[in-house]
Structure 1
Amino acid sequence: MSVHEQAAAAVLSQVALAADGVLLGLALAYVATRSIIRYTATSSALRKIQGAPSLNVSDLRSVLEGSDSSNDLDGGKLVIVRGIVDSKSAVDGNWKSLIPNVLISHESGERCVVLQRTQTCIYNEWRGLFGWTSDLLSLFARSWHKQESTSFRMVPFILVEGGKRPYTDYLIVNMDGSNHSLPLVTVYHQLQPISASPYTFLQALFGHEYPVGLLAEEKILPLGKDITAVGICTLKDGIAGIKPCKDLPYFLSDMTKDRMIIGLAFRSKVLLWSGIVLGALSIGILGYAGVRNWNKWKEWRQQQRTQRQNLAGTDVNPQSPEDDEAGDIPDGELCVVCLTRRRRSAFIPCGHLVCCQRCALSVERDLAPKCPVCRQEIRSSVRIYDS
């Protein structure tokens, strides 16, 4: 670990343990809450997949026509269908079906219905003669710089059962609004080095990132691939179609229904126990931090009170004849507490001059000192001298 990384780790540890671990407890509470929310969503998806029927493409028509509308989702039925990928042009029923509408991989030449090409520029960094610049750039420049470009192409496709054309039963796949990952196959993967230039030398000299390689990838969804579709299936004009369900983590996948259930069950258990453990830790840390900070606050109040008493003891002479003066004192100038000495101390911040200095100090030493007249909380008192 470098010196800068060690310094960053030390700063992060100090921030996490600030206020006796309050920030750490809040962070753990946030993570625990997120885990419980994700556990709820995962458990709901698990129940839906467990209750969804697993069908063949040829069985869809009879199931959808006889399904109970009360169990429908968005006008359709949640099903799990296993089928083989083929282009939609294979069932169009016109002259275009003689020329299949498919995509061709640029590198491998394979036929497919989904084609994704990605180019990733790989950067290196040398701290250079002015190494401090790389620390600043790590905070800003990397977030602004785009290192990856992706092109995505797709043609309409269907799922069919194994057999010869023309297909009598098929399922149209509707990808609209889908953010789910696709079971793509990598057919091309190559890393090409980038030759250095004089500009590259200047970038390295001042601690900037500079390109060293270009990674090109090509992934496809080939014809004839056996996949599973999990979604809402509808029947329109006698043709079955399936679209993704936003509440489920799967749409098109290589996994079977049993493997999906096993994966979701394991994930839900991990999320549940992580939420419970992290929640318990956060409660313990926050409770400990609360007790520690409460005790520190009480100690601080006691120290402040002791300091005021010490200062008052050094400034006041109990045997002062002026404080102990008695005799012919008008009633309007007598201390409202002892009624024997003259009023000499004004309270702050209310400003009432109603007590002698000795009684004012006694009022200040209370746990919740308040002015005897207006009952406002006071901070201290000041001795008033006659001119």
Structure 2
Amino acid sequence: MSSHDRAAAAVFAQIALAADGAVVGLVLAYVAIQSFIKFSSTSSALRKIRRAPDVRVSDLRFLLSSPDDNNDNSNTTNAHESEATGGKLLVVRGLVEAKSMVEGNWRNLRPNVLVSHESGERGVVLQRTQTCIYNEWRGLFGWTSDVRNLIARSWKEQKSTSLRTVPFILLEGGQWPRTDYVIVNLDGSRHPIPLMTVYHQLQPVHASPYTFLQALFGHEYPVGLLDEEKILPLGKEISAVGICRLQDGTPEIKSCKDLPFFLSEMTKDQMVLDLAFRTKVLLWGGILLGSLSFGILGYAIVRNWDRWKEWRQQRQARQPRDAVAEIAADEDVSDVPDGELCVICLLQRRRSAFVPCGHLVCCQRCALSVERGSAPKCPVCRQTIRNSVRIYST
């Protein structure tokens, strides 16, 4: 580990352990709250997918055209979903195919599909990513600050992604003629698509005199270009989870924003198992982090409370000394008759009377000393005293 990394670790450790670990406790509490929020949303998605019927493509028209059975408790969620969106929450599994294959347009002999530029694979979704990898060196004349060196990464990436799609459908495997299908609507969906990588290549960038100058003065310079292509191929079997309804007599399925899945390679049972595992991890992780944060915060509160009490006691201990110094400056140093001398020090005049006995037998300094004792008692009658009162003579 370099000196900069050790310095960064020391700074982060000091921040994390500030106030006896209160910062760590607050961070863990925040992570625990986020875990419980994700647990709530994941549990809701799990319940919806469990209740969603797993249907075949050939049964969609009949299922969507039939009225909802509101008396069935198992379909209550789907009935509410249908009333809100005009469709039903379903799980449909089928094979990917371009929509142009079933449109019945005999004039179009070539189907409307996308072809990979490099591999030649055909699909309905094509994603091409170009990543330029930069190397940053501080150089001989371009020394950057320590803060930037600690935060910034030595390798940087600049990525550009292009995504192209064509209308596609899901067909039932082995069905012919292909009259029953469901249209997949990707509008407004931000869910991941189960793409397949068909091309992946890293090409080095040749150095130039300008690159040498960039490195010499500490500027970042490109070292490689990564090209990658992913497609959703034709004939791939996937599951679609979303709101399905009849659109101009044709079934159409659209994503539901409350669900973590839309298009997936997993079946309904696999989705349920995956979400059930997530809920358990989020629940127990939130409980563990919450308990740990409560323990750390409790320890920090107790430690800081003890420190505050210690500081308060030290402050209170300093106040009597200051009062004694003021008393010493205010004491009468002139000749005092024997009958008015303090019975303890026999040097100063009697100035303070004890409460509740009322005996005026001590100077102010000795009265404070008696009052601060563990068992304060009057030196004359031995009665327990509460405090003393300064008596001023005219």
TM-score with structure 1 setting the length: 0.79
How far did 1:67 drift?
A: 4.3
* Corresponding position: 1:8 with 2:14: no
**Alpha-carbon separation, structure 2, partners of 1:48 and 1:104:** 36
Per-residue Cα deviation, 1:21-57 (whole angstroms, up to 9, x for no partner): 1111100000000000001111111111111111110
Q: Tell me the amino acid that sits aligned with residue 316 of structure 1.
A: I
2:383 corresponding residue in structure 1: none
Q: Cα distance 1:302–1:240, how it changes in 2: closer, same or farther (>3 A)?
A: same
Kept in 1, the 8 Å contact 2:134–2:157? The answer is: no
Equivalence for 2:389: none
Name the counterpart of 1:240.
251
Whole-angstrom CA distance in 2 between matches of 1:146 and 1:99: 39
The one-letter code sitting in structure 2 at the alignment partner of 1:267 is R
What is the rounded CA distance, in whole Å, between the counterparts of 1:136 and 1:322 in structure 2? 65
Q: Secondary structure at the match of 1:40?
A: helix
Alpha-carbon distance between aligned partners in 2 of 1:197 and 1:135, rounded to the nearest angstrom = 29
Determine if the alignment matches structure 1 residue 121 to structure 2 residue 132.
yes
2:43 corresponds in structure 1 to 43
Look up the equivalent residue of 2:314 and give its one-letter code.
Q
| CA 1:112–1:306: 2 relative to 1, 3 Å | same
Change (3 A) 1:179 1:7: same
- 1:313-332, aligned counterparts within 5 Å? 313-317=324-328, 320-321=331-332
Aligned to 1:276: 287
The count of aligned residue pairs is 335
Distance 2:142 2:303 in 1: 42
CA distance in 1, matches of 2:177, 2:334: 115
**Could you report, residue by residue, the CA deviation over 1:58-85 in whole angstroms, capped at 9, with x for unpaired residues?**
0111111224175152111111111111
* Structure 1 residues 323 and 94: alpha-carbon distance in aligned structure 2, compared to 1, 3 A threshold: farther
Rounded to whole Å, the distance in 1 between the matches of 2:2 and 2:30 is 30
Alpha-carbon shift at residue 203 of structure 1 (Å): 2.3
Alignment match, 2:200: 189
Cα distance in structure 1, aligned partners of 2:213 and 2:183: 55
Normalised to the residue count of structure 2, the TM-score between the two structures is 0.78
Give the AA of the match of 1:308.
Answer: Q
User: Retained in 2: the 8 A contact 1:184–1:220?
Assistant: yes
CA distance, structure 2, for counterparts of residue 297 and residue 212 of structure 1: 57
What secondary structure sits across from 1:171 in the alignment? strand
Contact (CA 8 Å) 1:28, 1:281: kept in 2 or not? yes
Question: How much does 1:208 deviate?
Answer: 2.7
Question: In structure 1, what is the Cα distance between the partners aligned to 2:32 and 2:335?
Answer: 66
Give the aligned partner of residue 350 of structure 1.
none
2:33 is equivalent to residue 33 of structure 1: yes
Cα distance change of structure 1 residues 230 and 214 upon mapping to structure 2, 3 Å threshold: same
Q: Which moved more, 1:194-203 or 1:40-49?
A: 194-203
SS in 2 for 1:317: helix
Partners of 1:323 and 1:358 within 8 A in 2: no
Unpaired segments ≥5 residues, structure 2 = 71-78, 337-351, 354-362, 373-394
1:306/1:102 CA distance change after superposition, 3 Å: same
1:220 lines up with 2:220 in the alignment = no
Change in 2 beyond 3 A, CA 1:25/1:96: farther
Distance across 1 between alignment mates of 2:45 and 2:218: 48
SS in 2 for 1:120: strand
The question of 1:252 aligning with 2:295 is answered no
Partner of 1:109: 120
Distance 1:86 1:314, change over 3 A: same
The 8 Å contact of residues 39 and 282 in structure 2, kept in 1 or not, is answered as yes
Partner in structure 2 of residue 54 of structure 1 = 54
Distance 1:316 1:219, change over 3 A: same
Q: Deviations over 1:229-249 (max 9, x none)?
A: 111100123210000011111
Percent identity (aligned): 64
